[in-house]
Amino acid sequence: MEPSSTIFFLCDLQTKFRPAIYGFDHVIASTNKILKVAKILGCEVLATTQKAKALGPIDPAVDLDSLGALCIGTYDKTLFSMLIPEVEALLKERSAVKSIVLMGIESHICILQTALALIVHPAKYTIYVLADAVSSSNSAEVPLALAQMRAAGINVTSSESILFQLIRDASAPEFKAFSAVIKEEKEATAKAVEELLIKTSFERSVL
């Protein structure tokens, strides 16, 4: 992976969904960690909302504003997949993009449908889903969705793992700032992994 050929997709992380989504605050924490490192490495971020007129904007706790020009837009949709015409147009303008990383909600609906649409895209993107930065209203849906995505050839990984894949080398000039974020977010990362990976996986194992 290279930062210059990687784009992050943030799906529908709107305040209106907060009461309904399992581990919503952990999804936001993982997302904000990603955004901090995206800024350091120069990765672009694209966001969507689902029917914002009725369901409102992205939660203000999500620090998209800090990205400046690296946030290439927030696009409203009714389609569950993020791959709406406006997003298709942005991707077409960015022929250098090879990797697309998904985070947001819901795992078994919008994230799943976006991932499945992208994995068969003619541009042949490599697709990643961050298991500690996605969730659903029903926590038991999450491991089912992740399993379906893995079976389709989508890479399911963690926020910390993907960030280290992007930085690659401890001698990189950005590593000092990168490392500071990783250390600063250590506790939040552990809590997100506990809630969104370990507990949901355990629930699935006992079903």
Encode pLDDT of 178-207 as tens digits: 999 999 999 988 988 988 887 665 444 434
CATH number at residue 28: 3.40.50.850
Q: Please state, in angstroms and rounded to a whole number, the distance separating the CA atoms of residues 35 and 47.
A: 12
pLDDT, one tens digit per residue, over 65-116 is: 999 999 999 999 999 999 999 999 999 999 999 999 999 999 999 999 999 9
Structural domains in the chain (count): 1
**Exposure string (b/e) for 184-201, b if CB count within 10 Å is 16 or more?**
ebeebbebbbebbbeebe
Q: Annotated catalytic sites, by residue?
A: 12, 77, 110
Q: Parallel, antiparallel, or unpaired for β 71-77 and 44-50? A: parallel
Give the range of the structural domain holding residue 107, as residue numbers without chain letter. Answer: 3-206
